[in-house]
Amino acid sequence: MHKDFPSATSNVELHNLSREELIAKIRAYQRQIELFREEQRRLNTLFAITRSLSQELDLDNLLHLLMDEVKETLQADRCTVFLIDEERGELWSRVGHGLENFEIRFPKSKGIAGYVATTGEVLKIDDCYSDPRFNPEIDRKTGYRTRNLLTVPMRNKMREIIGVFQVLNKKTGPFTDADVRLLEAIAPIAAVQIENAQLYEELRRTFDSLISTLAHIVDARDPQTAGHSHRIMLYADEIARIAGWSKRDREVLRISALLHDLGKIGIREHVLTKSEPLTEEEYEHVRQHVELTKSILQKIHFSRRFKDIPLIAASHHERLDGSGYPDGLVGEEIPAGGRILAIADMFDAMTSRRHYRDRLNFVQVVRTLKEAIGRHLDPYYVNCFFQISLGRLLEIMEFEEDEWVRPADLKWLKNFTLGELARLFEKEADWPEWALMFLRYYETAGSQNQNREE
């Protein structure tokens, strides 16, 4: 029997009660049943929060999820999680109700949140503006009026305070002791998940910067192919997006694209930058970059999610009919990512200036791509490639040059696809203005880089 439940009453006793006493007893029972239901709702919330938090590793998503659940459960108007930035001695929050699109920061010792973060005390205030610890600065910045609040510290496994949970303006009056208990139960679960997400974010940043540094090292070996790996990544990602690939598969493909030519770091520089045709021996030497890419990448420890990267990256010179290298794979033996990279690589090679030639005429680029369908390139993914807009193609060709294409032109050219342009090329008739505009931009692409090199 719950300690708050009215004491049991025998049938005999009930008979002796007056009508009023009976009604009072029934009301007491009803109140207790309500309290039990309330308690059950809170427990269910706690379970639901624990379950959903454990599945989320993105910090912003996690914070959003937490704040929405807590706001809902505590019937509050707003909820914010402030995290401690030890290096700067500040509390900060970038997601919170009423904080959309701006990050708020203030000294760690300031306001109620600062007080709780410093002392570790729980604060429940029923009238904020009459409490001297309340910092009205945030209200002034956000144009909000805080009436009452509840703030609890969040401690990690080491019992260190990593931030505070703050809920504002309960809709049904001041916050209750039951609200305090619930938030105190949620806080440590949230703290552990937030730390995990922060750690994951940090690892991701390290990983991403390592990948892009490797890509830059490859591209830097030859100024004329500068940006090649990055462009391949952007073209490949467009193809995968159009083909409806999942977020996760697209990420694997983007990394494979950035690293596809990594093996070129092992190729002799004079061969890479030679402007005359390569000898047979030199050509063989260049072809080895794919095997090198594979063997270097296989030495890197990739998590299960990224384990296919070495195979995808090293299959960008395979051809559908088996005439490619290094393994002469045929059709679907070539990983789908590799088939996409082959298209992106071929397109970029033709539309970039090389030591031994200028970029190809665009009509010729389209013709070559089409001729390669089925023999060299996968028809399905080429079809996806032809669905990329002309505006997006120009953006990728010159991804380092902002506003190289006039914004209005870019917007217009995003209405037409490469496929539509390709169909025009088959006709003799006059080409419309958008096609001529695209070709004019294409002719001047890369001239900025050219000037820099001179």
Stretch that binds Fe ion, among 18-26, 82-90, 231-239, 257-265 (CB under 5 A): 257-265
Task: Determine which helix (DSSP H) or strand (DSSP E) holds 169, and give its type and residue range.
Answer: strand 161-170
When asked if residue 219 is in the footprint of Fe ion (CB under 5 A), the reply is no
Least gap, CB of 453 to Fe ion (angstroms): 22
Question: Which residues pair with residue 168 across a beta bridge?
Answer: 78, 149
Minimum Å gap between C-beta 264 and Fe ion is 7
Sole binder of Fe ion in the list 195, 237, 261, 378 (CB under 5 A): 261
Element (H, E) at 233: helix 228-242
Q: Alpha carbon of 372 to those of 84, 333, 336, 381, 382: distances in Å?
A: 56, 18, 17, 12, 9
CA atoms of 414 and 398, how far apart (whole Å)? 15
Q: Toward Fe ion, which CB reaches closer, 80 or 256?
A: 256
Stretch that binds Fe ion, among 27-35, 53-61, 114-122, 254-262 (CB under 5 A): 254-262
Computed from CA positions of residues 189, 195, 201, 203, in that sequence, does the dihedral angle turn out positive or negative? negative
Supply the minimum distance, in Å, between the C-beta of residue 228 and Fe ion.
Answer: 9
Residue whose CB is less far from Fe ion, 195 or 261: 261
Compare residues 179 and 261 and give the one whose CB is closer to Fe ion: 261
- CA 153, 156, 162, 167: dihedral to nearest 10 degrees? -30
Rounded to the nearest 5°, which phi and psi values hold at 373?
A: -65, 130
Cα distance between residue 135 and residue 112, in whole Å: 7
Task: State the residue number with the nearest CB to Fe ion.
Answer: 261
Site for Fe ion in 76-115 (CB under 5 A): none
Which CB sits closer to Fe ion, 121 or 269?
Answer: 269
Point out which span in 160-168, 181-189, 253-261, 398-406 binds Fe ion (CB under 5 A). Answer: 253-261
**Least Cβ distance, residue 229 to Fe ion (angstroms):** 10
Q: Is 53 or 257 the residue whose CB approaches Fe ion more closely?
A: 257
User: How many whole angstroms separate alpha carbon 139 and alpha carbon 437?
Assistant: 51
Which of 309, 175, 313 shows the shortest CA–CA distance to 248? 309
From 70-78, 169-177, 188-196, 261-269, span contacting Fe ion (CB under 5 A): 261-269
Q: Given the DSSP bridges, would you call strands 90-93 and 104-107 parallel, antiparallel or unpaired?
A: antiparallel
Could you count the other beta carbons within 10 Å of the beta carbon of residue 217? 13
Task: Pick between residue 42 and residue 359 the one whose CB is nearest to Fe ion.
Answer: 359
Residue 162 or residue 340: which is nearer to Fe ion going by CB? 340
Q: Of the listed pieces 121-129, 199-207, 238-246, 256-264, which binds Fe ion according to CB under 5 A?
A: 256-264
Least distance from Fe ion to the Cβ atom of residue 296, Å:
13
- Interacting residues with Fe ion (CB under 5 A): 261
